[in-house]
Amino acid sequence: MAKILFIIAHRDYQDKEFLDTKKELEGNTIEVASSEKTTAKGVLGGTYTPDLTTKEALENVDEYDAMVLVGGGGAQQYFEDETVHKIIKRMNSAGKIVAAICISPKTLALTGILRGKKATVWDPGDRSVIKEIEEKGAIYTGENVTVDGNIITANGPHAATEFGKTIKKKLEK
């Protein structure tokens, strides 16, 4: 059984990406972190009370086998978040699974871990987000789910189930 860290935005996380991905990973130990421990609100009206803050997650980052960065408009709060960047970099350096869906692969790109890696991301249709990850060295695939080594990216809510199944399969190896 793996221990998985989910990171959701405190406001406007993408409910479907969170719940569908989490459902595929049931049976593992799952902890959910956000910038605050108070109830987080999803863009579709769902709520979830995080188990810990991202700062607390950073203190125990070595305990996790995988991390999942959930998307949604609120995920932009982590683009420049030093604590979340440290979690991502430490997980990646340890060769553990670093997964991000929707707009969250941009956060991975901003840490530098997507340099030379294949990745996908949600884009509003003007290729602006695609361009941003490519400028940080990512090789954009356009796939629903992309795996490159220990990094798994997905491009939106419609890919959440496949994303969760891909993470599960990677954990079983």
The region that residue 102 occupies, defined by phi over 0 for left and psi between -120 and 50 for alpha, beta otherwise, is: left
**Cβ atoms 108, 100 nearer than 8 A:** yes
Domain ranges for the chain, please list them: 3-172
- Which tens digit of pLDDT belongs to each residue from 11-41? 999 999 999 999 999 999 999 999 999 999 9
What the block records as the tokens of 6 is 């989910």
- Which tens digit of pLDDT belongs to each residue from 132-150? 999 999 999 999 999 999 9
pLDDT above 90: residue 173: no
d(CA 26, CA 9): 21
d(CA 88, CA 108): 7
CATH architecture of the region 3-172: 3-Layer(aba) Sandwich (3.40)
